[in-house]
Amino acid sequence: MDKIKLLLTLTTIAIVVIPIVGTLIAYQGNLLGLFIPPEVNEIADDLLSGGANGPGLEPPTMVGPPQYDEASQTVTLTFEYKNTFPFDITVNSMSGNIECDDHGFPLGDANLSKPVSIGAGETATLIVLGTWTEEAISHFQTAHAGEETADVSLVDLAVDIKGIKVQTNERIPISDVPVP
């Protein structure tokens, strides 16, 4: 009975020690590799630097002049966004606030019209719809009376990509927005 107990105790020690010591020996020249496999570094590089496709997290760039629809009081903004990641992404949402550049007056909010899928390294067009508030209409009529266009900015921009929300405090200038 003592022999059985001894055998079981030795077995317990062996099944604990052998795998751990074996792994330590295998990684004795690279102890960091025991805890951080090379895949983790590659993923971190891809996420932070954007891999080979570009500089990583970048705000979308505005293309073309804004279009205004008087009936719905909405302004259509067209952006280009380059997926610098080495994998396909889906832009689930994109939202922000629009402010008057001259007066800092809040004019309304802007939202992505529909989710957009972008392949790795590809550039896609994002259509963002901005809706003027009643206060914004009044602001345009009083503070920008007689002007045909005004300069505004998209602020507090938040982009949801694959469930990861990227928020930037950078102002995205939008020039020559038609005054209602």
Partner 1 sequence: MKTLMTKINWFGLAGGITTIVLLVASFFYPWWQLTVGDDLLKANASPVNTNFGFLDTSFTIPFIWALNVVSLLTLLLSGIAMLVYSVMPTKSFSKPLLDFGYKKPLFTFLFFVIGLVVVTVILQAVLSINVPLMGSTTSTVPIPFSSGITVSVLLSAGFLWPFWLAAVAAGLCIAARLYHKKVAVAPSATTIK
Residue 119 binds partner 1, judged by CB under 8 A: no
Q: How far apart are CB 62 and partner 1 at their closest, in Å?
A: 18
Residues 67-106 touching partner 1, rule: CB under 8 A, are 87, 90, 92
Q: Is 117 in the site for partner 1 (CB under 8 A)?
A: no
Contact 140, 150 (CB under 8 A): yes
Counting contacts by CB under 8 A, is residue 10 touching partner 1? Answer: no
Q: Are 158 and 95 in contact (CB under 8 A)?
A: yes
**Interaction of residue 12 with partner 1, rule CB under 8 A:** yes
Among positions 10, 13, 29, 37, the unique one binding partner 1 when judged by CB under 8 A: 37
Number of residues that bind partner 1 (CB under 8 A): 39
Of the candidates 29, 104, 146, 163, which one interacts with partner 1 according to CB under 8 A? 163
Q: Rounded CA gap, 149 and 180, in Å? A: 9
Task: Tell which residue, 136, 149, 76, 161, has the closest CA to residue 110.
Answer: 76
Residue type, 4: I
Contact 55, 84 (CB under 8 A): yes
Provide the token pair at 174: 């939008």
Distance between CA atoms of residues 146 and 143, nearest Å: 9
When asked if residue 167 is in the footprint of partner 1 (CB under 8 A), the reply is yes
Q: Do residues 103 and 143 make contact, with C-beta atoms less than 8 angstroms apart?
A: yes
* Binding test (CB under 8 A) with partner 1, winner from 131, 168, 179, 180: 168
| Residues binding partner 1 (CB under 8 A) | 1, 4-5, 8, 11-12, 15-16, 19-20, 22-24, 26-27, 33-37, 39-40, 42-43, 48, 56-57, 87, 90, 92, 162-170
